[in-house]
Amino acid sequence: MRWDALLPRLRHELAYRHPPNAVVLHLGENDLVIRKSIILIKTAIADLESVHATHPNIPIFWSELLPRLHWRGNIKPTRLNYTVEKINRAVRSATTHMGGRVVKHPNIKVYMKELFRPNGVHLSDLGNERWLSDIRHGLIDWLEDGKGAFQM
């Protein structure tokens, strides 16, 4: 999913479903080859602020963007991976400022080729396991902090 689809999708889901206990957002990588990083940063922060303003009781988890071995439509993966770090810093700061949580992925590095499928874009099964483990640990930490309580 690209950023332009986030707010319409959330509005639709929140209109027809019971409000979630938390929202974990992981998107933006597919936008990097078609948008300037500053535009993506501004859009991401504005959308996160909008979600927080309209649903202040739903915690927001920002799952940091991941590096890639290959970026479709781009011949300089090193430059885009640097851009990923820049975007993560900006969105991480905004997310924590509004009281949200950040899920980092310290064990997914571009030099760990076994974490990526042969196309260099998507995560392998092992990469997906690590990514999901990071998400799970982020949610568990939130629950253990006493700030999260799942409603049944």
pTM of the model: 0.91
Q: Report the distance separating Cα 86 and Cα 20, nearest Å.
A: 29
Q: What angle do CA 128, 125, 33 make, to 5 degrees?
A: 60
Token duo for residue 116: 């990526």
Q: Report the distance separating Cα 51 and Cα 68, nearest Å.
A: 28
User: What local confidence, expressed as pLDDT, does residue 151 receive?
Assistant: 41
**What domains can you pick out in the chain, each with its CATH number?**
3-144 (3.40.50.1110)
pLDDT tens digit string along 48-92? 999 999 999 999 999 999 999 999 887 789 999 999 999 999 999
User: What local confidence, expressed as pLDDT, does residue 137 receive?
Assistant: 96
